[in-house]
Structure 1
Amino acid sequence: MTEEFEEELTDDQIDRYARHLVLPEVGEEGQLKLLNSKVLVIGAGGLGSPLLLYLAAAGVGTIGVVDDDKVDLSNLQRQVIHDTDHIDHPKVQSASARLKAINPDVTINTYEFRLNDTNVDEIVQAYDLVADGCDNFKTRYLINDACYRQKVPLVSAAIMRFDGQLTTFRAFEDDDKPCYRCLFGDEQIAEKGSCADVGVLGALAGTMGSLQSVEVIKELLGIGESLENTLLLYDSLGTSFHRMKTKRDPACTLCGNK
């Protein structure tokens, strides 16, 4: 089957994306690039909610949503893509309905199951970029490894209590760029508590998910300064950002010197 690509904007799209079109860094060419882009979002929860909303609003043409969970009352403190009427509904269905209501230009692919070793590569390779907003280390490592193998950029965010972090991984490129394992080691030494155990400020998810959407759009358009080789740390109680330089670990079991 031949893929269809948008080659020019309709009158409605010119109105919808008017604030993008007047940006020299975006313009019509950039908006068409977004409309023809494919982004896979892992998790339709706290981070995924603002991320998905802003990607759809921006006109990212194909968005994949991976989540095997159902909407729970305790989610609504931070997962703003869902509402009370969708409690007990699959998150991917709730998110898809909301995104289609926001922007009919966007195609939503839903994956109502957990990623594993047998399905992750096939799904990842169908997208231009992956945005990871999941809530467990096992999936983060799985996604990191698949993106490295499939040579797909990965924009990764995480939150806990009052703190957030954000970075972009392109370790498959031939230079000093790290992967997730370079920064955080292997699974057996990286397990920590979860938000369910220690809590999380609901609005923090909005902050970090929105920042993540900006980085995704920058990567798709090739504008601005990438967060590759940089780990951005946000302390919401101190209202402070800290940028930490990162580099490949030669001993990394995935991308290090073999």
Structure 2
Amino acid sequence: MSELIPAQQLRYSAQLLLPEMDERQQQRLFASKVLIIGLGGLGSVVASYLAGAGVGQLLLADDDRVSLSNLPRQLLYSSAEVGLHKVDCAKARLTAQNPEIAISTLPKRLTLAELQVLLPEVDLVLDCTDNASSRLAINQACYTQQVPLISGAATGWQGQLLALKPWLGQGCYQCLYPDWQDSPSCLQSGILGPLVGMVACQQALLALQYLLNIGVIPFGHLRYFDGLQGTSGQLQLQQDPDCPVCALNE
């Protein structure tokens, strides 16, 4: 394993000072590949933190274009980029932030079949989408391909975070929302940028902990909080014995 060059030692100096970190751990990040699905308020923040930390390969998937209403909470984009594909804008900004990492883009909404092909190539999936069909497809693909999933959601004043290894009998998103329908979009229910950022920062932190194999990752537990009331909590996900995705008696 090669040593970090002086410029890398300087770039990553703050995180290398942590007792859990060293050059070997930094090399571990360089060797990691993460799929980020959705580059809105969650994904744009998550991608920036993972790129900054030196995650070596980021695969970015989103079929959307930048709109003016995105800009208060989607921090990768500028007014000049309205109308452009988010993945292209994100790649340009992240490459400028850290030219050492490799970034691939998929300007499309991934189907279950496409996810099944992609997932064996990655170490971790971050679900930053905003619709039920995508979340359920991601959940099913991660289960069948046995790739860990960290999913975030934010709408109104509510935020949720869920880390999953459902093949270990912890349950999955299908168990949590067996009859899930799309919730109102941010433009319908309202949202403040910092609330989305809070969820995204937790997603990024859990992702780095997982890739580095440090700390406690609450797999199978749903974290939730209310940004208006300042309350938060956690509950353990229960596996639905009739779940069509992860039930033990399938």
TM-score range, shorter chain: over 0.9
Which one of 112, 129, 133 corresponds to residue 134 of structure 1? Answer: 129
Please give the per-residue CA displacement for 1:84-127, whole angstroms capped at 9, x wherever unaligned.
11111100000001100110111101001111133121122211
Runs of 4 or more consecutive aligned structure 1 residues displaced over 4 Å after TM superposition? none
Partner of residue 3, structure 1? none
CA distance in structure 1 between the aligned counterparts of 2:174 and 2:164, rounded to whole angstroms? 10
CA distance in structure 2 between the aligned counterparts of 1:17 and 1:197, rounded to whole angstroms? 40
| Greater mean alpha carbon deviation, residues 239-248 or residues 130-139 | 239-248
Partner AA of 2:22 in structure 1: G
Which one of 171, 174, 191 corresponds to residue 181 of structure 1? Answer: 174
Aligned-residue offset at 1:167: 1.2
Partner AA of 1:157 in structure 2: G
Which one of 194, 205, 214 corresponds to residue 203 of structure 1? Answer: 194
Partner of residue 107, structure 1? 102
CA distance in structure 1 between the aligned counterparts of 2:112 and 2:134, rounded to whole angstroms? 10
Q: Does 1:28 align with 2:28?
A: no
Partner of residue 87, structure 1? 82
| Greater mean alpha carbon deviation, residues 13-22 or residues 194-203 | 194-203
Partner AA of 2:144 in structure 1: R
Aligned-residue offset at 1:237: 0.8
CA distance in structure 2 between the aligned counterparts of 1:79 and 1:102, rounded to whole angstroms? 16
Percent of residue pairs identical: 40
Partner of residue 119, structure 1? 114
Q: Does 1:146 align with 2:133?
A: no
CA distance in structure 1 between the aligned counterparts of 2:116 and 2:30, rounded to whole angstroms? 24
Q: Which SS does the other structure have where 2:41 is aligned?
A: coil
CA distance in structure 2 between the aligned counterparts of 1:124 and 1:106, rounded to whole angstroms? 19
Aligned-residue offset at 1:194: 2.1
For the aligned residue pairs, the C-alpha RMSD in angstroms reads: 1.3
TM-score (norm 1): 0.93
Aligned-residue offset at 1:169: 0.7
Partner AA of 1:154 in structure 2: L
CA distance in structure 1 between the aligned counterparts of 2:181 and 2:73, rounded to whole angstroms? 25
Partner AA of 1:181 in structure 2: Q
Partner AA of 1:72 in structure 2: S
Aligned-residue offset at 1:64: 0.6
* Long gaps (5+) in structure 1: 1-5
Which one of 149, 161, 173 corresponds to residue 156 of structure 2? Answer: 161
CA distance in structure 2 between the aligned counterparts of 1:234 and 1:222, rounded to whole angstroms? 26
Are the aligned partners of 2:34 and 2:59 in contact in 1 as well (CA < 8 Å)?
A: yes
Partner of residue 237, structure 1? 228
Which one of 211, 217, 221 corresponds to residue 220 of structure 1? Answer: 211
How many residue pairs get aligned? The number is 249
| Greater mean alpha carbon deviation, residues 79-88 or residues 234-243 | 234-243
CA distance in structure 1 between the aligned counterparts of 2:157 and 2:229, rounded to whole angstroms? 9
| Greater mean alpha carbon deviation, residues 58-67 or residues 6-15 | 6-15
TM-score (norm 2): 0.96
Partner of residue 255, structure 1? 246
Aligned-residue offset at 1:25: 1.2
| Greater mean alpha carbon deviation, residues 30-39 or residues 233-242 | 233-242
CA distance in structure 1 between the aligned counterparts of 2:193 and 2:210, rounded to whole angstroms? 27
Partner of residue 61, structure 2? 66
| Greater mean alpha carbon deviation, residues 68-77 or residues 26-35 | 26-35
CA distance in structure 1 between the aligned counterparts of 2:30 and 2:231, rounded to whole angstroms? 34
